[in-house]
């Protein structure tokens, strides 16, 4: 596994080597030891999968507030997505900045999302699925989010959003003075 920094502090891309032969390919996508050796979170408690029927489906931008803040490792396992992370840590030099990554089912790339980041994605293909490896148990009382179209972030999505949940459309405008996360 190879760990590449992104433009956001503490966020990483994880690239796995794919071994191919006449049968197809094999790829290791998770290794506690290699994560720990890279100084990253290596203890995870949940693995979640989401399936999306239609291209243009948006999920996000979600986070868990402390003390339930979580690290996520995100991988597209079917179809294609545009994955976006936002640094919401006021003490970070990249506070309020976002970055997006195209992930596909054939890609060896995963996104390592640190604590204190909002995360979401837009499907770029019908029948897309995403797998999340998560470091903390889900705590509904700690759930938070920001809108994908909040002018505070001005995220440049590659395609229009056609479908988003009522909850994801209803997050209030982000207030940088009061809305940051310290973990």
pLDDT digits over 73-91, tens only?
Answer: 999 999 999 999 999 999 9
- In a domain, residue 22? The reply is yes
Q: Model-level pTM?
A: 0.94
For residues 110 and 99, give the distance between their C-alpha atoms in angstroms, rounded to a whole number: 14
**Domain region containing 106:** 2-170
Active site residue 132: yes
For residue 25, the model assigns a pLDDT of 84
Query: In the sheet that 128-134 helps form, which strands lie side by side, from edge to edge?
Result: 2-5, 12-15, 109-113, 72-78, 128-134, 46-52
For residues 27 and 93, give the distance between their C-alpha atoms in angstroms, rounded to a whole number: 34
CATH code for position 76: 2.60.120.10
- In a domain, residue 151? The reply is yes
Across the range 103-130, mean pLDDT stands at: 97
Q: Which is catalytic among the residues 45, 62, 138, 162?
A: 62
Residue whose token pair is 């699925």: 129
Across the range 54-67, mean pLDDT stands at: 96
Query: Residue 96 — left, alpha, or beta (φ > 0 → left; ψ -120 to 50 → alpha)?
Result: left
- In a domain, residue 15? The reply is yes
Q: Is the pLDDT of residue 183 over 70?
A: no
DSSP state of 148: T
- In a domain, residue 179? The reply is no
Give the chain's domain count. Answer: 1
Q: Which is catalytic among the residues 68, 82, 132, 162?
A: 132
- In a domain, residue 177? The reply is no
Q: Is the pLDDT of residue 177 over 90?
A: no
Partners of 169 in the β-ladder: none
For residue 15, the model assigns a pLDDT of 95
Active site residue 62: yes
């Amino acid at each position: 596994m190879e760990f590449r920094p992104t433009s956001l502090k503490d966020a990483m891309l994880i690239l796995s080597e794919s071994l191919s032969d006449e049968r197809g390919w094999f790829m290791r996508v998770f290794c506690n030891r290699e994560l720990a050796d890279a100084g990253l979170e290596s203890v995870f408690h949940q693995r979640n999968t989401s399936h999306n029927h239609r291209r243009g489906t948006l999920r996000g931008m979600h986070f868990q507030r402390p003390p339930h803040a979580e690290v996520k490792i995100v991988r597209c396992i079917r179809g294609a997505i545009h994955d976006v992370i936002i640094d919401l840590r006021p003490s970070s030099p990249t506070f309020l900045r976002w970055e997006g990554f195209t992930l596909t089912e054939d890609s060896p790339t995963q996104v390592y999302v640190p604590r204190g980041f909002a995360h979401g994605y837009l499907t770029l293909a019908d029948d897309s699925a995403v797998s999340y490896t998560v470091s903390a148990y889900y705590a509904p009382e700690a759930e938070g989010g920001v809108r994908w179209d909040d002018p505070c972030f001005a995220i440049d999505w590659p395609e229009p959003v056609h479908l988003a949940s009522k909850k994801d459309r209803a997050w209030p405008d982000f207030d940088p003075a009061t809305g940051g996360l310290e973990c």
